[in-house]
Structure 1
Amino acid sequence: MDERAATELIETARAETARLAAVLTRQRDEIVAASEFSNADDEHDPEGATIAFEREQVQALLRQAQDELAALDAAAARVRAGVYEVCERCGGPIADARLAALPATRICIACANRR
């Protein structure tokens, strides 16, 4: 994969992940705002999932999106350094198909299977 294609792949994945992070941030903020002036006892709510559970679930998804953004930034740095297609474990090549599926990956399929 040439540098231009790798950069485009990473930028596309980053834009999608940034949009997801923005949506999750809005959801988290809405949950917090909706419960801010409520005196509901969500810990003993017989209706199912608690407000705290919803908030933590959205927060966990937001953390995953933020981690993916950081991983994509690191992938962009590897492209600039000329080591984007090099496995960090064995030093072998990472297949283009794997990079297309997982633009932030740092290891080849053989090393991933050895885990």
Structure 2
Amino acid sequence: IDSVYNASVDSMRAALKVLNRYKTRKVAILGDIFEMGSFAEEGHKQVGKDASENADVIIAIGKDAEFISKEALENNMNKENVHHFATKEEAMENFKDILQKGDTILVKASRGMHLEEVVEFLNK
């Protein structure tokens, strides 16, 4: 599910609910949501809570996305299924150890994260 063109807390949460409808293993690759100011930490935590309830695996990418992964762990998600990477390049290097054939994958972040590169990588 390619949704890399824009992101807000509400759109992230809605996309995670769509992901949850799939019957396969669900992977959420989520990047930073920009332009949130003082709400950045709380907003990313809200996304992390929803991600822990709607995805089987979380791959968080970016500085603020670390709050997504931390909140997922706080919500008792298995630490083996929660990953945080500072950059998309670092994440892509680790996909072979995380992703499985048949996974349904959501990729969503603010446009400035350039996660279309992740989508292109996954499509190869």
Q: Higher strand share goes to which structure?
A: 2
Q: Higher helix share goes to which structure?
A: 1
Bigger radius of gyration among the two: 1
TM-score (norm 1): 0.29
